[in-house]
Amino acid sequence: MARAIKKLSILLADDHELVRHGIRGILRARRGWRVIGEASNGQEAVEKTNKLKPDVAILDVSMPNIDGLQATRQIRAASPNTKVVILTMHESDQMVHRVLEAGALAYVLKSDLAANLVNAVQDVSAGKLFLTPKVSNIVLQGFLKNGNQVAAAEQKRAKPTPREVQIIRLLVEGKSNKVIAADLGISIRTVETHRSRIMVKLGLHSLAELFHYAIRQKLVIPSGSSE
């Protein structure tokens, strides 16, 4: 008996029609993938995502009305099951930080679009983080700029317990407190308590900082990285 092809619904948002056309062609070549909506600005992307509830939303970071980062935050709040892929021309550790902080699971450079978009969509749809080798190197170079200070500060802090490591990994995969509670068989309140203690223990203030910590400590290795 033939194995059923998993259907995957995708919303595409970019303010350039030619770019959307090219991306649409890449996505439609995948069996079972459907582009169920398109948007030419951030506000339209949010509205269509809220209406259509796609599995994946692919957003250009620079769009009219509201940009891709603001759109990501609104989409993640209103449609938490929709995974976000950010497309950008910006090659900076600071932008990677902002994208992850907004709640996206993939950061894809437009210069690497043809080679990496399919893998990015495939991985985020499974709840995995995706950074290309080039982006991973950008993040690494950002770490190296102040690596000694970071390493020295982390050596003075307590290490996360095995249970906290489990929760860190689930958090950086974009899982909600409710989903984490179900996965681990604990209450949502217990997850919230662990989450607060983790941030205090590690001296972190945001999910993006937690993501960077997890990579630095090799608690997670993003899909697409060369490690």
| Tokens encoding 193 | 């308590």
Same structural domain, 164 and 126: no
Residue 1 resides in a domain: no
Q: Which of 16-30, 136-150, 195-209 has the highest mean pLDDT?
A: 16-30
Residue 108 in contact with residue 132, Cβ under 8 Å? Answer: yes
The pLDDT of residue 1 is above 50: no
The pLDDT of residue 55 is above 70: yes
Segment 184-214, tens digit of pLDDT: 999 999 999 999 899 888 888 777 778 778 8
21-29 average pLDDT score: 90
Average pLDDT over the chain reads 84
Same structural domain, 156 and 124: no
Segment 81-90, tens digit of pLDDT: 899 999 998 8
> No. of H helices and E strands in the chain?
11, 6
Residue 161 resides in a domain: yes
Same structural domain, 19 and 112: yes
Same structural domain, 51 and 119: yes
Query: Of 68, 99, 132, which closes a domain?
Result: 132
Residue 138 resides in a domain: no
Residue 87 resides in a domain: yes
Same structural domain, 31 and 108: yes
The pLDDT of residue 151 is above 60: no
The pLDDT of residue 27 is above 60: yes
Please report, for the domain that includes residue 82, its CATH number.
Answer: 3.40.50.2300
Residue 83 in contact with residue 55, Cβ under 8 Å? Answer: yes
Residue 104 in contact with residue 86, Cβ under 8 Å? Answer: yes
Q: Which position has the token pair 């200070």?
A: 149
Query: Of 80, 108, 132, which closes a domain?
Result: 132
pLDDT of 2:
46
Please report, for the domain that includes residue 181, its CATH number.
Answer: 1.10.10.10
> How far apart are the two ends of the chain, measured CA to CA in Å?
37
Residue 175 resides in a domain: yes
Residue 140 resides in a domain: no
Q: What angle do CA 17, 20, 24 make, to 5 degrees?
A: 140
pLDDT of 132:
79
The pLDDT of residue 138 is above 90: no
Our count of domains for the chain comes to 2
The pLDDT of residue 79 is above 80: yes
Residue 225 resides in a domain: no
Same structural domain, 153 and 118: no
Same structural domain, 57 and 153: no
38-44 LR contacts (CB < 8 Å, sep 24+)? 38/11, 38/12, 38/13, 39/11, 39/12, 39/13, 40/13, 40/14, 40/15, 40/64, 41/13, 41/15, 41/65, 41/66, 42/13, 42/66, 42/67, 42/68, 42/70, 42/71, 43/71, 44/13
d(CA 168, CA 163): 9
Residue 141 resides in a domain: no
Query: Of 132, 155, 182, which closes a domain?
Result: 132
Which of 227, 172, 173 minimizes the C-alpha distance to 202?
A: 172
Q: Which domain holds residue 168?
A: 146-216
Give pTM, 2 decimals. 0.70
Same structural domain, 191 and 86: no
Same structural domain, 157 and 181: yes
Helix (H) or strand (E) holding 204: none
Same structural domain, 116 and 20: yes
Same structural domain, 51 and 87: yes
Same structural domain, 51 and 158: no
Q: Which position has the token pair 């940009």?
A: 67
